[in-house]
Amino acid sequence: MPRRTRSVTIRIARRLAVASLVSGLVAVFAAGCGASSVGIINLGGSVSESHAIAYANAINLRPSDVHGLVGSTVALRRETKYGPLGRLGERCAGGVDAPGDVFGVLSQRFVRSREHQRSFLPIESVFSAVYLLRSDAMASREVSVLASDRARSCLKRDNYDEVVSTTRTKSEPLFTRVKIAPLSLPAGSVVAHGERVTAVEAAVIEAPHVRGRPNYYEDFVGFSVGPAVITLHVTGSTHPFPAATEQRLLSLLYGRAKAHALS
């Protein structure tokens, strides 16, 4: 194979591998290492899985909410039996992890990308999720867990420190200089709590024609309405996700959650 063709092939394979790994990281962060059917969940009464899905879909983000972004070709698992932090994160942070205590439904992931951008990651991405718990009190407590120091420590260890890209010659983390800080944002008449991640993307994520390493930004916040925890997850590569859009989407999710009672 000619050197030029081989170089292009390697770059394409590298890009696809990184995209797959990072998308997998987002999916783990959101859905907790996979999903499975839970049939009936108990929220002070029996709620069928189909009813729970319909309720979540009435709240979650849809294409018309995110103008300029498109549905990702790498799909997230849409349903999960784990809480917002995922199976390992919930267990580590002391959140909801008992079988049947939670059922979650994720929206599609929406992204904005462009040709010749500085990173293999999308310039912006966003998705929401609705998690139904057994009681209002459990949902409120779960939001407190999301905002805890323990949760931040668990997320940094499981989702960043231990996530590496391996080549024939070396292994390196996908992100360096990772910082995770508490974050609170207005969501309608309530406050959404969670984390803000800032980091520097490792060389393996960079586009081959760009000098320097782009910055990476990620917000993950949630609030509760009754027995539901609603979360919003946004990322930005080279610049943060637009604050005004993030705020609008949080208010939109809260309004839908208040308008659609689970009965």
Q: Is the dihedral of CA 61, 64, 69, 74 positive or negative?
A: positive
pLDDT digits (tens, 9 = 90+) for 153-209: 998 888 777 666 555 556 667 788 899 999 999 999 999 999 999 998 876 665 555
Q: Can you tell me the mean pLDDT for 42-64?
A: 83
Q: Decide which of 56 and 27 is more confident.
A: 56
* pLDDT at site 203: 65
155 in Cβ contact with 195 (< 8 Å): yes
Q: Is the dihedral of CA 204, 162, 152, 219 positive or negative?
A: positive
Write down the pTM of the prediction.
Answer: 0.81
Do you know the residue count of the chain? 263
Find, among 225, 228, 25, the residue nearest to 125 by Cα: 25
pLDDT digits (tens, 9 = 90+) for 76-129: 667 888 899 988 889 999 998 887 889 999 999 999 876 545 556 778 999 999
* pLDDT at site 123: 85
